[in-house]
Chain A
Amino acid sequence: MPGAGSSWGRWPRHRHRTIALTNRYQRLVLDEPGTLLPYGNGRSYGDSCQNDGGFLLTTRGLDRYVAFDVDNGVIECEAGMLLEDVIEFALPRGWFLPVTPGTCFVTLGGAIANDVHGKNHHRLGTFGHHVLGFELLRSDGSERWCTPSENADWFAATIGGLGLTGLIRRLRLQLRRVPGPFLRGQSLRFGNLSGFFELSRDSDADYEYTVSWLDCTAKGRQRGRGVFMRANHAVAEGTTPGSGQWRVPFTSPLPLVNRLSLRLFNTLYYHRPAARRADAVWHYRPFFYPLDGVLEWNRIYGPRGFYQYQCVIPPATAPESLEEMLETIAVSGSGSFLGVLKMFGEQASPGLLSFARSGTTLALDFPNGGAPTLQLLESLDAITRKAGGAVYPAKDARMSATSFQQYFPRWKEFLRFIDPRFSSSFWRRVSQDPQGEAS
């Protein structure tokens, strides 16, 4: 079995014991000391799904459908079910996830706890906007049904609540109608960041899904170039990808991602003919989940794993801050395999600690090169802090308490909702007193 309990960045490594949850009526047995943390499918990159020295409550055994209202597209299921299973169930009946992240191997509980976003944020907001209600179990045995109107304070604390407010056992989700599995749209190249902003402005009104890939290895006049994709659900004829999947069979002893392979990959990606298509039809799988065809792709980064950095920068400062980031990355010489760029919409997110907010979001991953990588990420944080932005906890393994507390100004309000028995490695790090923080 692949190592249960690790995070997607494969770094940092933690030790914990696991308690497997297998049905939604199970009580939490707490006769041993130690803190608890729900664990979904470990698709968070850093330590927000880790609880060093404590227990992980593994939730994949909570994977039952409870009810489905086919007329209204309301699905009720247990929280350990994967988005993939929801799609498999809903799509043949004409429904789809209202919001989906870039992988469907994520549990519903995990999607709530990070209040995840997708390529349609400017239209439909975050995942939490579509959650009609959930049942929250606390370590004292109490159960609450939380909705935007019932236990609304618990609802807001638990959405984006990083698993700290209790265990979500069951939830009700509003799906959205789709005509079928296909999307139709365009793929366009842009030569620099202003090209990206222009395309975003032109596209956000007519296209539900917009996202860009950014070539982080391009230098000089080519810096900021990339490929912009925009699409809508559509009635279309296309090819359905086979169900075959590749698996990276073992952890490469050396990282396969280095300066050369990155440059090559990014250059090829930019210049491949499919980067410019006036009328493209995608099946939803390659469109939403391009990496899901290669199982355990994170192993290519070798035994030391990698860091991911995702920030959002407010609209006013986005162009200059993003330029500054690209400059900083270029100077450091440590490129990113995939840079993803997207404009968020203005809808306020439903969670006290939700990450998504108005602005431009940039996501990058970096092979773990030790101290220089951490320095680079800290200098990116300096830019994000100055710009009044935020960094995404789901992808973080290193942000300082100072940064976190600035990025999430409502964190103190959140404290009273934390279950006294729950904690995470991430939380112990970012809730420290910044004065006492180890530098």
Chain B
Amino acid sequence: MRKVLIVGATSAIAESVAREFARREDRLFLVGRRPQALAAIADDLKLRGAPMVQFRVQDANDISAHAELIESASVAMGGLDTVLIAHGTLPDQAACAASVERTLAEYQTNALSQISLCTLIANRFESQGNGTLAVISSVAGDRGRQSNYVYGSAKAAVTAFTSGLRQRLHGKGVHVITIKPGFVDTPMTAAFDKRGPLWASADSVAKTIVRGMIAGKPVIYAPWFWWGIMQIIRNIPERIFRGLKL
């Protein structure tokens, strides 16, 4: 039985992931900002098979609370061996371009808060000699594009940070996993037109994520075909790339 902490547990992708763990009868500790939504999700997960579900209302940007948050999850579940960090926002790129404050606030939510949590959890897992730390980054972090480079570069920080952690903890029983979803139909992308073959459901992405987490895969593209798409995008020479309307 796993003991799973999920930060950003009201996210559509995170909730679908939690259902997969509940079905496997794992213990769950949920962190999010909206108490009613968290309570509804917790009740549901118990009925789906989770033997224990608790939640805690906490803004992920409250960095000073992170250490205590991790400890309380461990106390509640009688240990901690699996973590998913899922929270995030999709910034308004134009508004960010016009405001340093806004840009830095987005960095706080999409990079710094993750880095803080990862640092604390990695150290804890290192000393206990096991654990799986999975963080949702994005394919957007594979290359900065004019349409959303604030988001993309924050995700790039998460990708590079988790890559480094993975090397550091290799051979120490700790798996660090970078998750890179493509286009997923969730509230974050409510404003997008979702027709076309590139869009995936949160449920299908969650299945890929959980399979990868259990197998200890270092990097998970979800759906998998985004690996190919990003290979191409990453390899476009900068001279051509800078002129593209992406």
Taking Cβ atoms with an 8 Å cutoff, the residues of A that contact B are 1, 3-4, 20, 22-25, 61, 64-68, 89
Measured CB to CB, the closest approach of chain A to B186, in angstroms, equals: 8
Other-chain contact of A65, B37, B47, B185, B187 (Cβ < 8 Å): B47
**A20 nearest CB neighbor, chain B only:** B190
Give B180-238 interface residues, CB cut-off 8 Å to A.
185, 187, 190, 194-196, 199-201
Q: Are B43's CB and A23's CB within 8 A?
A: no
Q: Kindly supply a per-residue 1/0 record for chain B positions 165-189, scoring 1 wherever the CB is within 8 Å of any chain A CB and 0 otherwise.
A: 0000000000000000000010100
Q: Are B48's CB and A65's CB within 8 A?
A: yes
Taking Cβ atoms with an 8 Å cutoff, the residues of B that contact A are 10, 12, 34, 36-37, 40-41, 43-44, 47-48, 185, 187, 190, 194-196, 199-201
10 closest cross-chain pairs (CB), A and B: A64-B44, A65-B47, A25-B36, A1-B199, A65-B44, A23-B37, A1-B194, A22-B187, A64-B40, A68-B47
A25 to B35, CA, bound (A): 11
- A23 neighbours in B (Cβ, 8 Å): 10, 36-37, 40
- A89 neighbours in B (Cβ, 8 Å): 47
A20 to B191, CA, bound (A): 10
A-B pairs with beta carbons under 8 Å apart, 12 shown = A1-B195, A1-B199, A1-B200, A22-B12, A25-B37, A25-B40, A64-B43, A65-B44, A65-B48, A66-B43, A66-B44, A67-B43
Measured CB to CB, the closest approach of chain B to A272, in angstroms, equals: 37
A20 to B43, CA, bound (A): 22
Measured CB to CB, the closest approach of chain B to A289, in angstroms, equals: 20
Q: Check A3/B40 contact, CB under 8 A, given A20-B187, A65-B48.
A: no
- B36 neighbours in A (Cβ, 8 Å): 23, 25
A68 to B48, CA, bound (A): 11
Q: Are A66's CB and B40's CB within 8 A?
A: yes
Measured CB to CB, the closest approach of chain A to B20, in angstroms, equals: 15
Q: Are B41's CB and A64's CB within 8 A?
A: yes
A64 to B200, CA, bound (A): 20
- A66 neighbours in B (Cβ, 8 Å): 40, 43-44
A61 to B41, CA, bound (A): 12
Measured CB to CB, the closest approach of chain A to B162, in angstroms, equals: 28
- A68 neighbours in B (Cβ, 8 Å): 47
Other-chain contact of A1, B40, B48, B185 (Cβ < 8 Å): B185
Other-chain contact of A24, B12, B40, B48, B194 (Cβ < 8 Å): B40
Which of A1, A3, A4, A24 is the most central at the interface, judged by chain B CB atoms within 10 Å of its CB? Answer: A1
Which of A4, A20, A24, A68 is the most central at the interface, judged by chain B CB atoms within 10 Å of its CB? Answer: A20
Measured CB to CB, the closest approach of chain B to A21, in angstroms, equals: 10
A210 to B234, CA, bound (A): 61
A1 to B43, CA, bound (A): 29
A22 to B187, CA, bound (A): 8
Measured CB to CB, the closest approach of chain B to A265, in angstroms, equals: 32
**A67 nearest CB neighbor, chain B only:** B43
- B196 neighbours in A (Cβ, 8 Å): 1
Other-chain contact of B43, A3, A4, A65 (Cβ < 8 Å): A65
- A67 neighbours in B (Cβ, 8 Å): 43, 47
Q: Are A4's CB and B187's CB within 8 A?
A: no
**B186 nearest CB neighbor, chain A only:** A22
**A61 nearest CB neighbor, chain B only:** B12
Measured CB to CB, the closest approach of chain B to A303, in angstroms, equals: 16
Q: Are A3's CB and B195's CB within 8 A?
A: yes
Which of A20, A64, A68 is the most central at the interface, judged by chain B CB atoms within 10 Å of its CB? Answer: A64
- B199 neighbours in A (Cβ, 8 Å): 1
- A64 neighbours in B (Cβ, 8 Å): 40-41, 43-44
A68 to B10, CA, bound (A): 22
A89 to B48, CA, bound (A): 8
A65 to B185, CA, bound (A): 21
A1 to B196, CA, bound (A): 6
Measured CB to CB, the closest approach of chain A to B157, in angstroms, equals: 28
Q: Are B194's CB and A4's CB within 8 A?
A: yes
- A22 neighbours in B (Cβ, 8 Å): 12, 187
A20 to B185, CA, bound (A): 10
- B12 neighbours in A (Cβ, 8 Å): 22, 61
A341 to B37, CA, bound (A): 45
